[in-house]
Amino acid sequence: MELANIENLLEKYFEATTTVQEEQELQAYFSQNNVAPHLQEYQPMFQHFANLKSEQFTRNVPLKPRKNYLKWISVAAVFLLTTGLFFNEWKKQREAEQAFEDFKMTMSLVSESFNTGASHINHLAQFEETTNKIFITENN
């Protein structure tokens, strides 16, 4: 590679108008040992870029298929919570109904005995009738 060409490319390089290919030519020129003395000050720059390119990512990435446990756990939790609440509510309702039935039965029992009691009291009306008869006859 002739020197004039390299100088020309360098100039273009600093204006950033070189193509990738031309930059590769420059890179190749500066990576060899035979660099013209007045261009040697640019050598570290290109050498550094070449060094940087040799760095590699060595770590192994743990690519476990990340299962979304959390999602399913939350779904299950919500399900349990709602069924629990629903069941609780239903149980309460059942208890209330049961209590109401019991109360109804007791009340009907009470009213039944009350009725039988009341029917016995009916005899008392006889006294009134007879006393009335007596008083009415006296008055007449």
Partner 1 sequence: MKQADFLNMILPFKDKLYRLAKRLLVSSEEAEDATQEVLLKLWSKKSKISAYNNVEAFAMTMTKNYCLDKLKSKQASNLKLVHSNYKDENTSLQKEVELKDSVSFVHEIMEQLPEQQKIIIQLRDVEQYDFEEIAKVVNMNPTAIRVALSRARKYIRQELIKTHNYGVS
Q: In this structure, what is the dihedral angle of CA atoms 81, 86, 91, 92, given to the nearest 10 degrees?
A: 100
Q: What number of chain residues touch partner 1 (CB under 8 A)?
A: 30
Among 4, 16, 121, 124, binds partner 1 (CB under 8 A): 16
Residue 46 CA, chain-centre distance (Å), reads 53
Residue 136 CA, chain-centre distance (Å), reads 91
Does 23 engage in binding with partner 1 (CB under 8 A)?
yes
Among 32, 37, 57, 69, binds partner 1 (CB under 8 A): 57
Distance CA 69, CA 75 (A): 10
Please provide the size of the chain in residues: 140
Least Å distance, CB 58 to partner 1, is 8
Does 69 engage in binding with partner 1 (CB under 8 A)?
no
Q: Where do contacts with partner 1 occur on this chain (CB under 8 A)?
A: 13-17, 19-20, 23-24, 41-45, 47-49, 51-53, 55-59, 61-63, 65-66
